[in-house]
C-alpha cells in the first residue's frame, strides 16, 4: 500500500488558511490592525463592514497584491509573512470581483481558460474543441444554463458571474472570494448566485462572501466576520447571524433601515406621467404621480421599465406617446436642460458612468451643471465654485481630504453625495433617485435615507427607484410597482409587505384585485 493510501484522511474541520495579527498601514491610514481569522474547508464566511473598514486591503493581502507590515499567514501549516500572487494562486485562492474581468469578443470557454488554453500539434495551436470539453463540466457545476461555445456578449450579468466562478474552479480553487457579486443583480438572478454559493460549499470549497446586502449574508453564511475601522469588530456564529447584530458590530450602534415618517401630509402633484410610452415598452402606457413632500417608491423587476421612465422624465430619452405634467401644466422634455429648468433632477443608477466625471475634482462636479451661477461675466469664478462646494460638503458631510480631491477616489457613499450636491445646490422641486444606495455601505445608506426624508419634509417630491425590497418598504410613503412597462399597482403603508410588492412585480393581483 502506498504512503498516500495509508495516510490519515485530512481533517476537514481544521482551518487550511489562517491570518494572525495582520497589520497594514498606508500613509496616514491604518487599514488593518491586529486582524486575525481562519478559513475551514467548505464554509461560507460573510465578510461585512462599512466602506473603508479594511475589506479591500484584506482581499489584496490574500491575493498577494500587497504585503502586510506585521502578522503571519498560515496555509496548510506553513507560516509565511506574506503571499505573492503566485503563492495565492498555488494555494487555490480565487477572486470574483465586482468589476468582472471578462472579454465580450470571446466565447465562454475562451474566457474561462484565457492564458491557459489547451494546445495541440507540433505548432501548438489552440485546441478549441478540447477547450469546450474542459469548460462544459465546470459550467455544469455552477448550474449554468448556457453552453461553453456561447458568446460572452449574449450573457446577463449573473451568467457572467457564473463564468467567473467557473474560471475559479478551473484552477482548482479551494477558496473563492466573491466581492459584492449581487450589487447589480435583480432578485431572481441573485437567488441563482446564492444557490451557486451553496453548491460550492457542498463540494468542500470555501467562500468568502462580501456584501452590503445583509439579508443575503443571513441566507448563506455559516459565520460572519465583521470589520470596523481596520480591526476585527466581532465574529458571529451560524445561530447568531441576524441583521441588527451585524449592523451594530459594523457601525458600533443600532441602526434601522426604516426612515422616519413623513413630517407632514403630502401636498399637490409635483410631477405626473400621463399615459407615457417609453422606448422599452412603446405599447404600454404608464401613469403615476408624485406629490410634494412624499417619497414614492417605484419597485419592479429589472427590465420592467422603471429606469426608462426616469430617463424620459429627465429628458434623456424620448417618449412615444402621452405626456408629463409639472405643477398641473403639460411638460414634454426634449433635452435634459428642459428638466433642469423646471427643477427636475435625476440621480442615475450608474453614478460613475452617468452621474459624475470621476477625474474631475469634487468642486468641479458640484458646479458643472450650473456654471453660469458661478460666473462673473463670461468667466467662472473659482471662489464662487468653492463657496458652493464647501456649503454642500458641510450639509451632506462629504468625507474627503479637500474639495480639490479627485471624485473617483471617494467611496461609493461619498460619490453619491457629490451627485446629490450638484443638484441640491440648484433648489430641486423633484428629485428622482435610481437605485440610490447600490454598492453603498449600511452607514452611508442611512445618511442617504435621511437626506431623502429631509428633502421630502422640505416640500420636494421624491421618486425612488429601488430593487432592494427592504429599502422600498422601509423608506417609501407609497409604493408604485411596475410590470412589463405598466404600473401594476399602488400600495399604501398599510399594504406594505414583500409578498404584495412581489405579487404586483410579476403581474399578479393583491387581495384579489389590482391595487391600481
Q: 193 or 46: whose pLDDT is higher? A: 46
CA distances from 213 to 61, 133, 219, 330 (A): 24, 36, 10, 40
Name the CA dihedral angle for 345, 347, 349, 351, rounded to a multiple of 10 degrees.
130
> Where are the extended beta strands (E) located within 150-281?
175-179, 206-210, 223-228, 231-236, 269-276
With 70 as the cut, is the pLDDT of residue 31 above it? yes
With 50 as the cut, is the pLDDT of residue 515 above it? no
Q: pTM to 2 decimals?
A: 0.64
Closest CA to 92 of 164, 20, 16: 16
> In angstroms, rounded to a whole number, what is the distance separating the alpha carbons of residues 4 and 107?
40
pLDDT category, 299, cuts 50, 70, 90?
very high
pLDDT category, 4, cuts 50, 70, 90?
very low
Task: Centre a 10 Å sphere on the Cβ of residue 186 and count the other Cβ atoms it contains.
Answer: 18
CB-count burial class (<10 Å; 0-12, 13-18, 19+) for 287: middle
> In angstroms, rounded to a whole number, what is the distance separating the alpha carbons of residues 82 and 453?
47
CA angle 113, 119, 121 (to 5 degrees): 170
> In angstroms, rounded to a whole number, what is the distance separating the alpha carbons of residues 368 and 374?
9
Least confident stretch, 137-146, 216-225, 450-459, 474-483: 137-146
With 70 as the cut, is the pLDDT of residue 253 above it? no
Closest CA to 430 of 315, 317, 515: 315
> In angstroms, rounded to a whole number, what is the distance separating the alpha carbons of residues 355 and 436?
12
Closest CA to 161 of 136, 178, 145, 138: 178
Report long-range pairs for 489-495 (Cβ below 8 Å, ≥24 apart): 489/514, 489/515, 489/516, 490/288, 490/515, 490/516, 491/515
> Whose grid coordinates read 474541520?
13
pLDDT category, 220, cuts 50, 70, 90?
very high
With 70 as the cut, is the pLDDT of residue 125 above it? yes
Q: Kindly state the average pLDDT of the residues 20-35.
A: 88
Q: Please give the pLDDT value at position 350.
A: 81
Q: Please give the pLDDT value at position 248.
A: 84
CB-count burial class (<10 Å; 0-12, 13-18, 19+) for 329: exposed
With 60 as the cut, is the pLDDT of residue 448 above it? yes
pLDDT for 339-359, tens place per residue?
999 999 999 888 888 888 989
Alpha carbon of residue 23 to chain centroid = 28
CA distances from 288 to 333, 479, 481 (A): 17, 11, 10
Element (H, E) at 36: strand 29-39
Give the percent of the chain with pLDDT over 90.
48
Strand 329-331 relative to strand 323-326: parallel, antiparallel, unpaired?
Answer: antiparallel
**DSSP assignments along 110-123, one per residue:** HHHTTTS--EETTT
Q: Kindly state the average pLDDT of the residues 452-460.
A: 92
> In angstroms, rounded to a whole number, what is the distance separating the alpha carbons of residues 516 and 507?
11
CB-count burial class (<10 Å; 0-12, 13-18, 19+) for 501: buried
Which domains, ranges and CATH numbers included, belong to the chain?
Answer: 13-251 (3.40.50.300), 256-343+428-516 (3.40.50.300), 354-427 (no CATH)
Contact 40, 204 (CB under 8 A): no
With 60 as the cut, is the pLDDT of residue 434 above it? yes
How does the average pLDDT of the chain come out, rounded? 86
173 CB contacts (<8 Å, ≥6 apart)?
A: 92, 93, 94, 205
Element (H, E) at 22: strand 17-26
Q: Please give the pLDDT value at position 186.
A: 64
Q: Please give the pLDDT value at position 511.
A: 65
pLDDT for 33-91, tens place per residue?
999 999 999 999 999 987 778 888 999 999 999 999 999 999 999 999 999 999 998 99
Q: Please give the pLDDT value at position 109.
A: 94
Contact 434, 416 (CB under 8 A): no
Q: Please give the pLDDT value at position 72.
A: 96
Q: Please give the pLDDT value at position 187.
A: 66
Q: Please give the pLDDT value at position 244.
A: 83
With 70 as the cut, is the pLDDT of residue 188 above it? no
Contact 264, 460 (CB under 8 A): no
Tally the residues of the chain.
516
**DSSP assignments along 337-360, one per residue:** HHHHHTTEEEE-S-IIIII--TTS
pLDDT for 356-400, tens place per residue?
898 999 999 999 988 888 887 778 899 999 999 999 998 888 888
Contact 82, 32 (CB under 8 A): no
> In angstroms, rounded to a whole number, what is the distance separating the alpha carbons of residues 328 and 338?
16
Q: Please give the pLDDT value at position 206.
A: 95
Q: Please give the pLDDT value at position 411.
A: 78
pLDDT category, 7, cuts 50, 70, 90?
very low
Residue 477, CB-side half-sphere exposure with 13 Å CA sphere: 23
Q: Please give the pLDDT value at position 52.
A: 72
Amino acid at each position: 500500500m502506498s504512503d498516500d493510501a495509508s495516510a490519515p484522511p485530512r481533517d476537514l474541520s481544521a482551518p487550511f488558511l489562517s491570518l494572525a495579527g495582520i497589520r497594514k498601514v498606508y500613509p496616514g491610514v491604518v487599514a488593518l490592525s491586529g486582524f486575525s481569522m481562519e478559513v475551514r474547508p467548505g464554509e461560507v464566511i460573510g465578510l461585512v463592514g462599512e466602506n473603508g473598514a479594511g475589506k479591500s486591503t484584506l482581499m489584496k493581502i490574500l491575493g498577494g497584491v500587497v504585503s502586510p507590515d506585521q502578522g503571519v499567514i498560515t496555509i496548510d501549516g506553513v507560516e509565511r509573512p506574506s503571499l505573492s500572487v503566485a503563492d495565492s494562486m498555488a494555494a487555490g485562492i480565487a477572486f470574483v470581483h465586482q468589476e468582472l474581468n471578462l472579454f465580450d469578443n470571446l466565447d465562454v470557454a475562451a474566457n474561462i481558460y484565457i492564458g491557459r488554453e489547451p494546445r495541440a500539434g507540433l505548432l501548438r495551436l489552440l485546441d478549441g474543441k478540447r477547450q469546450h470539453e474542459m469548460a462544459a463540466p465546470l459550467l455544469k457545476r455552477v448550474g449554468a444554463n448556457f453552453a461553453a461555445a456561447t458568446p460572452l456578449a449574449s450573457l446577463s450579468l449573473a451568467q457572467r458571474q457564473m463564468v467567473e466562478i467557473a474560471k475559479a474552479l478551473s484552477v482548482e480553487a479551494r477558496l473563492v472570494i466573491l466581492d459584492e457579486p449581487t450589487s447589480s443583480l435583480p432578485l431572481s438572478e441573485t437567488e441563482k448566485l446564492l444557490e451557486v454559493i451553496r453548491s460550492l460549499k457542498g463540494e468542500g470549497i470555501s467562500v468568502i462572501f462580501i456584501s452590503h446586502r445583509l439579508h443575503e449574508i443571513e441566507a448563506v453564511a455559516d459565520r460572519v466576520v465583521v470589520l470596523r475601522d481596520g480591526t476585527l469588530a466581532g465574529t458571529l456564529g451560524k445561530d447568531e447571524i441576524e441583521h441588527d447584530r451585524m449592523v451594530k458590530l459594523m457601525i458600533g450602534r443600532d441602526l434601522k433601515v426604516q426612515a422616519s415618517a413623513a413630517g407632514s401630509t403630502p401636498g399637490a402633484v409635483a410631477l405626473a406621467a400621463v399615459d407615457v410610452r417609453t422606448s422599452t415598452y412603446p405599447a404600454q402606457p404608464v401613469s403615476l404621480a408624485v406629490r410634494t413632500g412624499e417619497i414614492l417608491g417605484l419597485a419592479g423587476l429589472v427590465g420592467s421599465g422603471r429606469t426608462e421612465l426616469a430617463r424620459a422624465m429627465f429628458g434623456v430619452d424620448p417618449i412615444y406617446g402621452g405626456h408629463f405634467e409639472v405643477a398641473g401644466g403639460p411638460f414634454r422634455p426634449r433635452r435634459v436642460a428642459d428638466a433642469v429648468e423646471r427643477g427636475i433632477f435625476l440621480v442615475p443608477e450608474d453614478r460613475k458612468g452617468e452621474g459624475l466625471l470621476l477625474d474631475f475634482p469634487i468642486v468641479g462636479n458640484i458646479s458643472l451643471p450650473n456654471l453660469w451661477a458661478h460666473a462673473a461675466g463670461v468667466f467662472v469664478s473659482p471662489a464662487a465654485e468653492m463657496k458652493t462646494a464647501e456649503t454642500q460638503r458641510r450639509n451632506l458631510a462629504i468625507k474627503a481630504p479637500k474639495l480639490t480631491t479627485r471624485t473617483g477616489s471617494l467611496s461609493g457613499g461619498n460619490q453619491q453625495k457629490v451627485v446629490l450636491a450638484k443638484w441640491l445646490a440648484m433648489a430641486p422641486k423633484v428629485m428622482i433617485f435610481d437605485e440610490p444606495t447600490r454598492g453603498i455601505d449600511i452607514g452611508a445608506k442611512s445618511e442617504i435615507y435621511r437626506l431623502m426624508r429631509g428633502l421630502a419634509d422640505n416640500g420636494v417630491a421624491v421618486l425612488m427607484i429601488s430593487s432592494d425590497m427592504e429599502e422600498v418598504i422601509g423608506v417609501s410613503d407609497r409604493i408604485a410597482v411596475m410590470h412589463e412597462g405598466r404600473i401594476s399597482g399602488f400600495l399604501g403603508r398599510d399594504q406594505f409587505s414583500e409578498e404584495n410588492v412581489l405579487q404586483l412585480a410579476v403581474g399578479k393581483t393583491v387581495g384579489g384585485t389590482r391595487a391600481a
